[in-house]
Structure 1
Amino acid sequence: MSRRASKDANHDEIVEHFELLGCSVAELHNAGLPGWPDTVVGCIGVNHLVEIKNPATAYGRRGLNPNQQHFSRDWRGEKVWAVCSTDEATALVQNWRSNAANKRGSE
């Protein structure tokens, strides 16, 4: 039996922010798979797994829980990213876009 995951208090704000930055977001916090990240964020043709953490709670400040750590360790796709704020989401999107531009420029 899977447990219905709850969203962090900052979840909706961060999802909305990713969308304002031009990303698409699929929410997965209710997928029922242990350790599966909260969202898939589509940005410039790439899907990124993103875990949202809330630094206002002790649970959020502890970082990835054991299930999330195992998933992140065993996942053979792109790394799992974690964000705690809209500022971190902005920095992450800027990083993804910069890396994509650098790859295009080196081809």
Structure 2
Amino acid sequence: MNRHNSKDANHDVIAQRFRDLGCSVIEMHATGIPGFPDLAIGLIGARGRMTQLVEVKNPNTRYGRAGFNDNQTAFARDWRGEKVSIVTSVDEATALVQNWRRAA
């Protein structure tokens, strides 16, 4: 498995945290689409259902600390849906869901 379809070490715990918060989670890291984010998150907010895209980054690696790579930057720039979010921890996942629910 190469870097383009492998999971960061913190991927599984972050995906599980989204599930624990009542979100639907589809793991997209192995789609083969250059730059496509790691997770598609479905949730219900104050004004209805929404889908969000999340890139998981591991802050314990140089690659993870660098943020979006070139393919991810291009995908996020060209994506016409909601902004692609970066999450590095379960605390960030929790805060993100809380913010989405407040804003939606």
Secondary structure of 1:25's aligned partner:
strand
1:6 aligns with 6
Q: CA deviation at 1:88?
A: 0.2
Runs of 4+ deviating beyond 4 Å: none
Aligned-partner residue type, residue 19 of structure 2: E
Q: CA deviation at 1:4?
A: 5.5
1:82 aligns with 86
1:39 aligns with 39
C-alpha separation between the residues in 1 aligned to 2:4 and 2:35?
A: 12
Q: CA deviation at 1:78?
A: 1.0
2:65 aligns with 61
C-alpha separation between the residues in 1 aligned to 2:17 and 2:4?
A: 24
C-alpha separation between the residues in 2 aligned to 1:23 and 1:41?
A: 6
Aligned residue pairs total: 99
Structure whose alpha-carbon radius of gyration is higher: 1
Alignment RMSD (CA, Å): 1.4
C-alpha separation between the residues in 1 aligned to 2:9 and 2:25?
A: 17
Aligned-partner residue type, residue 81 of structure 2: G
How does the TM-score come out when normalised to structure 1?
0.89
C-alpha separation between the residues in 2 aligned to 1:48 and 1:4?
A: 20
C-alpha separation between the residues in 1 aligned to 2:39 and 2:86?
A: 10
